[in-house]
């Protein structure tokens, strides 16, 4: 498997940089293994595993840069790649926004790697799938699911002395269970760094319960409702989501340029303004043991597959508070824009953590007089970037709550809502859970806007 140690990677990178004739050169070596298994109609449909190891070299002359990549590592190949990157750089147009490379950096000790995941085998994947399929087959339910595991490393170095290494693992699992008559559908998703913490059976059982409980849904009039949004409705790792959409819009430049929900009337940004309910606090921290992330990245992260060396500029990921008690505390910056504005170049985060309360989902339902429980949203797309208005639909388990109890399943709704409005109409926050590498609490929201009904199950 193509997981190089820190020393093995450094040896190759040092060699690459020693060939440089450019003003500046950086190199990124990354690789790993990607495994997956997919099933539908209660049978495995595809499975696969791929290894990859790739080196990407960026050469810079003045403000001209060029990138070349290779997956052979003998000296001659390395030197050839360096020369090719230099050649491309010489012919490239100047990028007036190019920023000189960073020197040595200090990184937090994050550990997003678990040996159990790195050791996953095809047999393990098959067993995890069996654990999900078997209970569905026995109950005459139909399962479709997917599990993807990733074990990878990234090492970067440049001629200014910057050097960084990270290895990480992740497993994402999701399952949709449908009743035989197609009238009920339930969903569950999990993501972990350490696969020993994943039970596909436990997740599937929740999806099975939701499938059975959601059959024969009744129609409610569209309108404004109190909703309890489960974490999978707020953040998704397979589609756009309201919270990721908002957190991805914390770019300072767009706000300064007047084309963001964080742009201020009359110019400037809304940094320092209270835009949300005071219970809203969101920060990022690569060292959080529940959602560990790479301690470096920035400028859009990336670089992991060695596609574009510019993807990772080596900036440290630190603990950053984005929203504190409803007040916007920080925005993310490209190095160019931070330099222009004379501020610290805080990179876009590698994860985010939203503070919540101690209530479980069951507690939140119990304290609800009238409302709707939403398992997940689907096909979320931006409608108006000015207000961060998004549209999308409920899916795979939507229920009516009355007097603290789930009364009956309801037909799916289309919503048109902004996460900014949603986080002002906050009623309660539950205990945060991991979703897509982030921590997010279930939320109770009043006056959530459903605009039409859908017949979809």
Chain residues 380-439 in contact with another protein, contact rule CB under 8 A? 380-389, 391-393, 395, 412, 414, 416, 418, 420-421, 436-438
Task: State yes or no: residue 451 binds another protein (CB under 8 A).
Answer: yes
Paired sense of beta strands 223-229 and 370-384, if any? parallel
186-225: which residues touch another protein (CB under 8 A)?
191
| Phi and psi angles of residue 393, each rounded to the nearest 5 degrees, phi first | -135, 155
Chain positions 360 to 379 lying near another protein, rule: CB under 8 A, are 378-379
Tell me how far apart the alpha carbons of residues 406 and 411 are, in angstroms, rounded to a whole number: 14
* Closer of 54 and 111 to another protein (Cβ): 54
In this structure, the number of other CB atoms found within 10 A of the CB of residue 344 comes to 10
Q: 389 and 415 in contact (C-beta within 8 Å)?
A: no
- From residue 63, how far is each of 90, 98, 100 by CA, in Å? 10, 6, 9
Cβ closest to another protein, residue 257 vs residue 402: 257
DSSP-assigned states of every residue in 186-202:
EEEEEEESSGGG--HHH
Region 248-307 residues binding another protein, contact defined as CB under 8 A = 248-249, 251, 253-254, 257-261, 263-267, 275, 299-302, 307
CB 150 within 8 A of CB 170: yes
Please report how close the Cβ of residue 13 comes to another protein at its closest, in angstroms.
17
What single DSSP character describes residue 405?
E
Q: For residue 297, give the nearest of 151, 148, 149, 105 by alpha carbon.
A: 105
Measured in degrees and rounded to the nearest 5, phi and psi for residue 84 equal -65, -40
Does position 317 bind another protein by CB under 8 A?
no
Binding segment toward another protein, per CB under 8 A, in 24-32, 63-71, 316-324, 397-405: 63-71
**Residue with smaller CB distance to another protein, 302 or 326:** 302
Token reading at 35: 């495994």
- Contact flag: residue 14 with another protein (CB under 8 A): no
Q: Does 350 bind another protein (CB under 8 A)?
A: yes
Q: How far apart are CA 298 and CA 313, in angstroms?
A: 6
| Residue ranges in 320-349 that form contacts with another protein under rule CB under 8 A | 334, 348-349
Asked if residue 198 lies in contact with residue 155, where contact means CB atoms within 8 angstroms, the answer is no
- Binding mask 108-137 toward another protein (x if CB under 8 A, else -) reads --------------x---x--xx-------
* Residue written as token pair 């997003």: 112
Q: Tell the residue number behind the tokens 């969101």, with chain if given.
A: 282
Task: Rule CB under 8 A: choose which of 5, 11, 21, 43 binds another protein.
Answer: 43
CB of 239 to another protein, least distance (A): 9
73 binds another protein (CB under 8 A): no
Among 5, 18, 71, 196, binds another protein (CB under 8 A): 71
Of 165 and 333, which has the nearer Cβ to another protein?
Answer: 333
Query: Residue from 4, 68, 162, 443 that binds another protein (CB under 8 A)?
Result: 68
Q: Which of 31, 310, 432, 442 binds another protein (CB under 8 A)?
A: 310
DSSP states of 25-53 as a string?
A: EEEEEEEEEEEEEEEETTEEEEEEEEEEE
The interface region with another protein, picked from 91-99, 153-161, 358-366, 402-410 by CB under 8 A, is: 91-99
Nearest to another protein of 172, 427 (CB atom):
172
Query: Which among 329, 347, 325 has a CA at the least distance from the CA of 338?
Result: 347
Residue of the chain from 118, 164, 175, 372 that contacts another protein (CB under 8 A): 175
């Amino acid at each position: 498997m193509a997981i190089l140690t820190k020393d093995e990677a450094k040896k190759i990178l040092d060699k690459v940089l020693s060939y440089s004739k450019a003003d500046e050169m950086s190199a990124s070596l990354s690789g790993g293994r990607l495994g997956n298994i997919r099933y539908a109609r209660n049978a495995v449909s595809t499975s696969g595993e791929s290894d990859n190891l790739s080196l990407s070299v960026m050469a810079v002359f003045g403000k001209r840069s060029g990138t070349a990549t290779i997956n052979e590592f003998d000296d001659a190949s390395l030197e050839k790649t360096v020369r090719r990157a230099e050649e491309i750089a010489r012919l490239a147009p100047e990028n007036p926004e190019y920023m000189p490379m960073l020197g040595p950096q200090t990184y937090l000790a994050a550990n997003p790697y678990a040996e159990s995941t790195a050791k996953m085998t095809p047999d393990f994947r098959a067993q995890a799938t069996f654990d999900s399929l078997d209970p569905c087959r026995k109950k005459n339910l139909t399962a479709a699911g997917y599990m993807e595991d990733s074990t990878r490393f990234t090492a970067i170095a440049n001629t200014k002395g910057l050097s960084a290494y990270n290895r990480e693992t992740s497993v994402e699992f999701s399952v949709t269970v449908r009743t035989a008559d197609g009238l009920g559908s339930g969903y569950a998703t999990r993501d972990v760094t350490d696969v020993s913490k994943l039970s596909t059976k436990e997740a599937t059982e929740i999806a099975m319960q939701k499938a059975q409980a959601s059959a024969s849904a009744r129609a409610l009039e569209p309108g404004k409702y109190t909703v309890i949004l489960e974490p999978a409705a707020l953040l998704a790792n397979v589609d756009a989501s309201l919270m990721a959409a908002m957190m991805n819009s914390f770019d300072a430049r767009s706000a300064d340029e007047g084309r963001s929900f964080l742009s201020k009337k009359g110019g400037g940004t809304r940094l320092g303004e209270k835009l949300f309910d005071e219970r809203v606090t969101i920060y990022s921290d690569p060292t959080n043991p529940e959602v560990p992330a790479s301690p470096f990245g920035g400028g859009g992260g990336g670089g992991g597959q060695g596609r574009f060396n510019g993807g990772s500029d080596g900036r440290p990921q630190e603990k950053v508070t984005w929203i504190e008690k409803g007040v916007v505390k920080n925005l993310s910056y490209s190095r160019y824009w931070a330099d222009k504005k004379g501020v610290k170049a805080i990179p876009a985060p590698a994860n985010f953590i939203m503070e919540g309360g101690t209530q479980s989902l069951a507690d939140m339902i119990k304290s609800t007089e009238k409302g709707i429980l939403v398992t997940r949203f689907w096909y979320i797309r931006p409608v108006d970037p000015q207000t961060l208005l998004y549209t999308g639909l409920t899916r795979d388990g939507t229920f009516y709550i009355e007097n603290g109890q789930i009364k009956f399943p309801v037909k799916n709704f289309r919503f048109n809502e902004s996460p900014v409005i949603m986080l002002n109409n906050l009623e309660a926050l539950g205990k945060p859970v991991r979703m897509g590498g982030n921590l997010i609490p279930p939320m109770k929201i009043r006056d959530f806007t459903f605009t039409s009904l859908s017949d979809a199950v």
